[in-house]
């Protein structure tokens, strides 16, 4: 059993002492508002009457969207993609002052800390049991002022250090103990740890299924392979459409562009990793001692639906086929981190179909930094304001809950703010999975949307565990009525709504008593009518 000294942390991070951990010098980084005016769209009729149901296939033909997914045939990457650096977002531009409190995660098997402590520091040692993850966290006070770059370099130069973050990020006891969780600032901003106790208590036998319609999902990734959806009626690899749903060997999902069973990316073109990053934000496995945690970190399954295949453009026909596939094959939530300019009847038909089948849809508002209107329309995201059961998601920064500079906005058409960056002005995105058991930061409304999709999955799981069968419209209303109302966002996002997982869990626990009648509960009248209309 290894013994760790609490004083080791200071030795591990102080630049002059990094050399004393020579055995571990392989490198490798490690990485508000009031609820008083909550509103929900449950007192009124459905959002849209007389919607178009005519469908057609084809690509969009206009628009110059800078959203990560431009359906004209070329994918434009988010500008904020960076390799994982590991620092939290709370530092001032000049760096950290002396006395700043940190939480440092140290790899237990890295060296004999007793020897290090004896030779470098006071020799004070404490006998402690090894953790299952092989990582132990310690409180540490910065002894003198240090720039972000110097502190980051000291931590990243020493592979003994599994993670470092300001202490407030890691103080939530219920967050999963995965080594990179302390660097996922969006989980702290959402008060996720204070919600997870109730989520754990709400665990149900049937996992919530999130369909990721995107560039594909790395089915072998260490943080995703255990949460993949499995088609129980399909025998993988036998070349037969066992369940007669029109798709052979679709065991974990399907690649609609290349017409193959595996939803993994078909080729390593520039944005192939996007779907893996999105999937991890929503549902990376928590508590496995590896990497990061998704917002919905347990009781969830990822259905990978690849609509890009080996190309950098997606056809609308593939996207709408994937929406229908998800609805027909047991998805509870659909995530659409893609889009293009202009209306499209194909989208309307598929969205209507999925919602009627009981699937809530979350879609990205786009990254043009402009106001969405009836003429500046982004499909499919802008349809969210017209359908009860679909949410158009904008991006906010987890550092201060401000609107991310790139996010499209509208006080009527963008319905919910969700963290899609930690600090967009400095180019710092949110941390998630990357193909090949790696992790990167990226930012965009594409990232905000799966974070919100994880919240939708949490709402579904909790409501089901209490005996209800919530409709997509109810799940949307629960997310909105439990959101925080931020005054600074009221001109950018409808009613200034910002998702908050603690509020979500508290609201469901308070408003939905356990029942044996598995019907759609709707929103309690006193909450719904106090909210006014949604249009």
Considering 186, 274, 277, 297, which one is annotated as catalytic? 274
Closest residue by Cα to residue 420 from 68, 83, 41, 103: 68
The neighbouring-strand residues paired with 69 are: 75
Whole-number Cα distances in Å, 112 to 1, 4, 116, 171, 490: 10, 8, 7, 27, 54
Tokens of 307: 């609509």
243 is catalytic: no
Angle at 336 between CA 418 and CA 83, to 5 degrees: 65
* Cα dihedral 181/182/187/189 (nearest 10): -170
DSSP 399-464: TT-PBPTT--BBTTT--EEEEEESBGGGTB-EEEEETTTEEEEE-SHHHHHHHHHHHHHHHHHHHH
Please tell me the distance from the alpha carbon of residue 229 to that of residue 210, in angstroms, as a whole number.
9
The Cα 174–Cα 456 span in angstroms is 19
CB 123 within 8 A of CB 18: no
Clarify whether 221 is annotated catalytic.
Answer: no
How far, CA to CA in Å, does 110 sit from each of 29, 86, 489?
15, 19, 46
Active-site annotation holds for 150: no
**Cβ(322)–Cβ(69) below 8 Å:** no
Distances (CA, A) of 52 to 324, 344, 353, 457: 17, 10, 12, 28
Catalytic residue (one of 85, 293, 432, 446):
446
Angle between helices 501-511 and 472-481 (to 10 degrees): 110
| CB-based contacts of 22, cutoff 8 Å, min separation 6 | none
Q: What is the DSSP letter of 109?
A: G
CA distance 227 to 235: 18
Give the whole-angstrom CA distance, residue 122 versus residue 533.
65
Q: Which of 390, 341, 364 is nearest to 447 (CA)?
A: 364
Would you put residue 93 in left (φ > 0), alpha (ψ -120 to 50) or beta? alpha
Residues in CB range of 73: below 8 A, 6 or more apart: 59, 312, 313
The whole-angstrom separation of Cα 278 and Cα 155 is 27
Its sign, for the CA torsion 320, 325, 328, 333, is negative
Among 214, 218, 250, 318, which one carries the catalytic annotation? 214
Active site residues: 214, 274, 446
């Amino acid at each position: 059993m290894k013994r760790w000294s609490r004083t080791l942390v200071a030795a591990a991070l102080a630049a002059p002492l990094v050399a004393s951990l020579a055995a571990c010098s392989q490198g490798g980084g490690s990485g508000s508002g009031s609820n008083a005016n909550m509103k929900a769209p449950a007192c009124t009729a459905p959002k849209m009457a007389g919607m178009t149901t005519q469908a057609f296939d084809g690509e969009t033909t206009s628009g110059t969207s800078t959203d990560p997914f431009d359906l004209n045939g070329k994918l434009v990457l988010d500008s904020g993609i960076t390799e994982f650096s590991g620092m939290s977002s709370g530092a001032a531009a000049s760096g950290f002052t002396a006395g700043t409190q940190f939480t440092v995660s140290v790899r237990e098997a890295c060296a004999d800390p007793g020897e290090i402590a004896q030779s470098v520091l006071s020799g004070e040692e404490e006998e402690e049991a090894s953790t299952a993850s092989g990582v132990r966290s310690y409180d540490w006070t910065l002894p003198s002022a240090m720039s972000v770059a110097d502190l980051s370099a000291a931590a990243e130069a020493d592979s003994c250090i599994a993670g470092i973050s300001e202490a407030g990020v890691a103080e939530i006891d219920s967050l999963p103990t995965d080594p990179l969780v302390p660097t996922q600032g969006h989980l702290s901003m959402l008060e996720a740890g204070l919600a997870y106790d109730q989520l754990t208590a709400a665990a149900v036998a049937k996992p919530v299924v999130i369909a990721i319609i995107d560039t594909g999902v790395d089915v072998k990734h260490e943080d995703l392979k255990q949460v993949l959806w499995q088609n129980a009626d399909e025998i993988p690899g036998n070349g037969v459409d066992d369940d007669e749903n029109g798709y052979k060997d679709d065991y974990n999902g399907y690649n609609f562009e290349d017409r193959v069973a595996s939803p993994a990316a078909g080729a390593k073109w520039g944005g192939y990793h996007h779907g893996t990053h999105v999937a991890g934000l929503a549902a990376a496995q928590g508590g496995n001692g590896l990497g990061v945690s998704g917002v919905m970190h347990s009781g969830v399954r990822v259905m990978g639906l690849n609509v890009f295949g080996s190309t950098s453009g997606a056809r609308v026909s593939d996207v709408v086929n994937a929406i229908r596939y998800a609805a027909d094959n047991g998805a509870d939530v659909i995530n659409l981190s893609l889009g293009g300019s202009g209306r499209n009847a194909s989208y309307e038909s598929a969205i209507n179909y999925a919602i009627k089948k009981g699937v809530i849809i979350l879609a990205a508002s786009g990254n043009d930094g402009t106001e969405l209107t009836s003429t500046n329309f982004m499909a499919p995201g802008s349809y969210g304001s017209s359908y009860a059961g679909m949410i158009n998601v904008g991006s906010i920064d987890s550092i201060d809950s401000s609107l991310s500079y790139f996010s499209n906005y509208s006080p009527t058409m963008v319905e919910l703010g969700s963290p899609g960056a930690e600090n967009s002005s400095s180019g710092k995105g949110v941390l998630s999975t990357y193909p090949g058991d790696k992790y990167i930061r990226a930012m965009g409304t594409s990232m905000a949307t799966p974070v919100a999709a994880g919240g939708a999955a949490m709402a579904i799981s909790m409501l089901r565990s209490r005996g209800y069968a919530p409709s997509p419209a109810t799940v949307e209303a629960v997310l909105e009525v439990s959101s925080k109302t931020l005054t600074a966002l009221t001109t950018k996002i409808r009613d200034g709504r910002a998702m908050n997982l603690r509020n979500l869990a508290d609201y469901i626990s308070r408003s939905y008593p356990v029942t044996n009648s598995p019907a759609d509960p709707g929103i309690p009248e006193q909450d719904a009518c106090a909210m006014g209309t949604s249009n």
